[in-house]
Amino acid sequence: MSHPFNPDPPRPDADPAVAVPPLEAAVNEAGEENDEGLVTEAQSGSMKAFETLVTRYRGRIYGMTMNMLGHEADARDITQEVFIKAWRNLPNFERRSQFFTWLCRIANNAVIDLIRKKKISGAEFNDELGSVPAAGAPTTPRSLPPPDRAMVNQEIGVRIREALDKLSPEHRAVILLKEIEGLSYQEIADTVGCAIGTVMSRLFNARKRLQEMLSDLYAGRREKEPATESAVAVR
């Protein structure tokens, strides 16, 4: 799926060439035109505007797919695919959600399709509405840092990765979108295509499962250091 980057804007009906750089090369450029304006220009055929959107979000989409898949080559291929699909379907983007949320939805669908194609499975949970936590209820265990904070700690990074891989793709997606991307429940629901109640239930069950798989590791840490983390309430 390699597409060499072409500095000359191609025809509006052509596929964009999307080069996926290292994550550190993809940074938000403060002060530039907002997404809405760029989307309007891109929908009118401006490849320059679309390339700006690609530069703005390819690092985050790559990071999302990498966290979901744990495989660099697959993550790069999916990231490439996401922006090609976004370009092709841009005329149909009705702005019912933020542009980045729309990209996340395309990425999530592509990742789920790849996982199913490769028959990569994870633990399944009961997502009936009855398991949705009440408002204000803790959704991460006491004295345990949220998964995103834990992932930056090299000492437990491998364990976190292994634990995430044991979650079903649907549960892995919601916890990464919430804890890593910081999306709201509504944005996550729009991304994965389910009700907010289902998002809350999946998030609760995923965090509970992570607690079970990583409790021994965190128990060891608490023996060495006083617990300073408090329960994290539903945001």
Q: What is the pLDDT along the chain (235 residues), one digit of tens a residue?
A: 444 333 333 344 455 554 444 433 333 445 668 999 999 999 999 999 999 999 999 999 999 999 888 889 999 999 999 999 999 999 999 888 899 999 999 999 999 899 888 765 444 444 443 344 344 433 333 344 555 554 545 667 788 888 888 898 899 999 999 988 899 999 999 999 899 999 999 999 999 998 888 887 766 555 555 544 433 333 3
Give dist(CA 178, CA 148) in Å, integer: 9
What pLDDT does 59 receive? 94
Enumerate the CATH 1.10.10.10 domain ranges in the chain, comma separated.
129-224
What residues contact 177, with CB distance under 8 A and at least 6 apart?
Answer: 64, 104, 108, 183, 187, 188, 191, 192
Taking the domain 129-224, which CATH number applies? Answer: 1.10.10.10
pTM, to two decimals: 0.62
In three-state secondary structure terms, 194 is: coil
Enumerate the CATH 1.10.1740.10 domain ranges in the chain, comma separated.
23-117
What pLDDT does 215 receive? 84
| Fold topology of 23-117 | Rna Polymerase Sigma Factor; Chain: A (1.10.1740)
Alpha helices in 22-134 (DSSP H): 35-43, 47-69, 72-89, 99-117
What residues contact 70, with CB distance under 8 A and at least 6 apart?
Answer: 161, 164, 165
What pLDDT does 148 receive? 56
Q: Give the sign of the dihedral formed by CA 62, CA 66, CA 69, CA 74.
A: positive
180 by Cβ neighbours in 10 Å (0-12 / 13-18 / 19+) ranks as: middle
What pLDDT does 223 receive? 56
What pLDDT does 131 receive? 41
What pLDDT does 153 receive? 59
Give dist(CA 41, CA 46) in Å, integer: 5
Give dist(CA 80, CA 64) in Å, integer: 13
